[in-house]
Amino acid sequence: MAVAWGTRPEAVKLAGVIRGLGRDALVVHTGQHYDDALADGVLRGLGLPKPHVRLARPVRAVRAQQMSSMVGALARVFQDARPALVVVQGDTDSACAAAQAAHYLGIGVLHVEAGLRSHDRAMPEEINRRVIGVLADVHCVPTAGAAAYLRAEGVAADRIHLTGNTVVEAVTASLPAPAVRAAVLRRHGLTPGGYVLATVHRPENTDSAARLGTLLGELAELGPPVVLPLHPRTRERARRFGLLDRLERLRAIEPVDHATFLALADGSRLLVSDSGGVQEECTVLKKPLIVVRTSTERPEAMESGFAVLVAPGPGLGRSARAALADTGLAARLAATPSPFGDGSASERIVALVRRLVAADGPPGERPDGGRAPARPAAVPATSSGAAPVPAASPHPGGHPCIDRPTPEVPQQSAPSPPQEEPAPCSPSSR
């Protein structure tokens, strides 16, 4: 089997899966984001070795050319290694490119964090999610809502596994010890519960001078100190738009590693961010979050009371001040479980991958000469998200991974809770 990734968030969320698969997995870095700090810092902090294969960074060009370059390079790696299964995570260009390369070679694709939908086609990540959703043979969904979205799009229920989100165990594993967290706060001159932590990096918030200026101004007026680890995109746009004076009213700091960010988030009173990952992490850290976006693919954070979705503008300040003034909010969130799982998602995914790879012996052949995934025994998803692994037994009926008809996609309706679901179509041994 192979695990492909290309960005820091993917490394964080796949760390438990990569560790669990151990020497059996070929780890491939796509070249999307790679530097010495990543290799020597993030990977070491996660307890991960350097990737077995590290592709060259795509030449800076239009996104279509970058994607084409990654797909071609990954296809050559997979053609040589012939893994039975390629694991991808999330909605990055790396995940989308790896899914395409594997699919074109007839190699099975397992998508971790499947089924998220923002319904905003202006987001590149939304297009990636939908493309991967079409190509994947196995969908590991974090929530019941994500499973319902996939079923509404025509994905067969027996391809969907409710595993939970690997972010829960990633945060638990990466959060520094109390003494280290206290040292981080002292280093930045902060007191626990006495500041707001903000992150801003999405193009929808940084590519408009008016929007970025309003956002920085609203943060500066909140009252408590606002710590802003400054993404390179945000710093460059602030300089271009003449907004550096707005940054001076905030505690703008250099970008920090994941563990340091978690320490700062854990000590904060309120989070403000346009990040998708922070919407998940806040539910593990039990911190309130203002999501500065017009849409989200993680509505569970809002439904459970951890987050509020606010469009960039004056509403940001109003919502943030309301959260800061709510004296009972911290206690309510402390008693609220994360909607993204119980911290065992990586274990479930590893067990599923191992069983799928070992299930049915040599793979079949597709008409194009590629490897066709063999169908495994059923693995029902329980209401808690756990996927028990029974002894393998042949699945009755035809082979849904070969020459399967394109399902009709029903009109979008309110998602219904997923029923107990058998195992998805899967690849066979490496």
Strands across the sheet with 226-229, in order? Answer: 251-253, 226-229, 196-199, 270-273, 289-292, 307-310
pLDDT at residue 401 in the model: 30
- 3-state secondary structure (DSSP) of residue 296: coil
Say what the pLDDT of residue 46 is.
Answer: 87
Mean pLDDT rounded to a whole number for the chain: 85
Burial of 280 (0-12, 13-18, 19+ CB in 10 A): buried
| From 46-60, 139-153, 285-299, the region with the lowest mean pLDDT | 46-60
What percent of the chain has a predicted confidence (pLDDT) above 90?
74
Angle between helices 124-135 and 93-104 (to 10 degrees): 30
Q: What is the pLDDT of residue 15?
A: 97
Residue pair 136/108 in contact by the 8 Å Cβ criterion: no
Residue 344, helix vs strand vs coil: coil
- In this prediction, residues 58-63 reach a mean pLDDT of 77
When pLDDT is cut at 50, 70 and 90, the band that residue 271 belongs to is: very high
Long-range contacts of 70-73 (CB under 8 A, 24+ apart): 70/6, 70/30, 70/31, 70/32, 70/94, 70/97, 70/98, 70/101, 71/97, 71/100, 71/101, 71/104, 72/101, 73/30, 73/31
Positive or negative, the CA dihedral 76, 80, 82, 88 is: negative
pLDDT at residue 47, rounded to an integer: 85
Place 39 in a pLDDT band, splitting at 50, 70 and 90: low
For the ranges 86-100, 320-334, 393-407, the lowest mean pLDDT is seen at 393-407
Residue at 12: amino acid letter: V
Going by pLDDT thresholds of 50, 70 and 90, the confidence category of residue 56 is confident
pLDDT at residue 351 in the model: 97
- Residues marked active site are found at 201
pLDDT of res. 36: 67
The alpha-carbon radius of gyration of the chain (Å, integer) is 22
Query: Where residue 79 falls among pLDDT bands split at 50, 70, 90?
Result: very high
- Between CA 334 and CA 283 the distance in angstroms is 9
What's the pLDDT band for 62 if we cut at 50, 70, 90?
confident
What type of residue sits at position 328? G
pLDDT at 61: 74
Pairing label, strands 138-141, 108-112: parallel
Q: In this structure, what are the phi and psi dihedrals at residue 140, rounded to the nearest 5 degrees? A: -95, 105
Assign 3-state DSSP to the chain and report helix, strand, coil percentages, each to 5.
45, 15, 45
Mean pLDDT to the nearest integer, 8-19:
96
For the cut 50, the answer to whether the pLDDT of residue 284 exceeds it is: yes
Q: Are 230 and 253 in contact (CB under 8 A)?
A: yes
pLDDT band at 397 (very low <50, low <70, confident <90, very high): very low
Mean pLDDT on 97-121? 98
DSSP 8-state class, residue 22: G
The whole-number average pLDDT for the span 138-155 is: 98
Nearest 10 degrees: Cα torsion 43, 46, 48, 49: 30
Q: What are phi and psi of 307, to 5 degrees?
A: -130, 155
Check whether 427 has a pLDDT greater than 90.
Answer: no
Average of per-residue pLDDT across 141-147:
98
Contacts of 235 (CB under 8 A, 6+ apart): 247, 252
Q: Name residues whose C-beta falls within 8 Å of residue 72's C-beta, 6 or more positions apart in sequence.
A: 101
The type of residue at 383 is: S
Distances (CA, A) of 82 to 52, 87, 105: 15, 13, 9
- How many helices and strands (H and E) does the chain possess? 19, 15
* Spatial distance between the Cα atoms of 173 and 13, rounded to a whole number of angstroms: 11
Dihedral angle computed from the Cα positions of residues 63, 64, 68 and 71, in that order, rounded to the nearest 10 degrees: 60
The mean pLDDT value for 207-233 works out to: 95
Neighbour order of strands in the sheet with 53-54: 53-54, 26-29, 2-5, 85-89, 108-112, 138-141, 160-162
Percent of residues, the chain, with pLDDT higher than 70: 82
Q: What is the pLDDT of residues 336-387, one digit of tens each?
A: 999 999 999 999 999 999 999 998 632 333 334 444 443 333 333 333 343 3
Find, among 214, 250, 210, 253, the residue nearest to 231 by Cα: 253
Select from 139, 65, 157 the least CA-distant residue to 417: 157
- In the chain the domains, ranked by start, together with CATH numbers, are 2-165+342-372 (3.40.50.2000), 175-334 (3.40.50.2000)
Q: Is 394 exposed, middle or buried (0-12, 13-18, 19+ CB in 10 A)?
A: exposed
Read off φ and ψ for residue 112, nearest 5 degrees. Answer: -90, 135
pTM, whole model, 2 decimals?
Answer: 0.83
pLDDT at res. 44: 83
Greater confidence, 274 or 430? 274
Q: Which amino acid belongs to residue 212?
A: L
Q: Element (H or E) spanning 332, and its range? A: helix 329-334
